[in-house]
Amino acid sequence: MVERSITGEHLIAELDRLAGQRGTYPAVLRCDNGPELACSAMTDWAAGQVGLHFIPPGEPWRNGYIESFNSRIRDECLNINSFWSLAQARVVISDCKHEYNHHRRHSSLGYQPPARYAATCTHQLTTLVRCGPVHGVRSSGSVRSQLLPRR
């Protein structure tokens, strides 16, 4: 999602769109405490359906994968481009996203692009169910029930 600013309502609409595309909602969203995430609209949206796990303020290492991703996107896309319009930013960032997901090899995925790795990945559901609830998740119900498609 490329916008000048993102509200909780914009984020919820995008999460609903992604869940519709994938056929299910995530069991847990690990979040920082940004205003678009730590708002009542997001809490109401998640209510018992999606676990919200907020990392403690000032502890970005608790969300290391996202911090690493943000750093790479900043270095490989955002810092080397000047955007003259929101439309241009959307095109350039979409191209960067495609490159990152379909062509850029990731050492943590056996030097495969994420899209290729995801196409062969079948362990996600059993891994989440076997691990159980994430410490600090603010939601009710089991992880198994959270993996079922939202109604």
Residue 84: burial class (beta carbons within 10 Å; 0-12, 13-18, 19+): exposed
**Cα–Cα distance for residue pair 97/103, rounded to 1 Å:** 10
Domain range summary for the chain, segments of one domain joined by +: 8-147
pLDDT tens-digit series, residues 4-17:
999 999 999 999 99
CB burial of residue 151 (10 Å; 0-12, 13-18, 19+): exposed
Give the model confidence (pLDDT) of 68-93 as tens digits: 889 999 999 999 999 999 999 999 99
Question: Does residue 22 surpass a pLDDT of 80?
Answer: yes
List residues bridging with 138 in a β-sheet.
52
The pLDDT score that the predictor gives to residue 141 is 42
CB 32 within 8 A of CB 54: yes
Q: 28: which strand partners?
A: 51
Condensed to tens digits (0 to 9), the pLDDT of residues 98-128 reads 999 999 999 989 999 999 998 887 665 444 4
CATH number 1.10.101 is the correct assignment for the domain at 8-147: no
Q: Work out the mean pLDDT of the chain and round it to a whole number.
A: 82
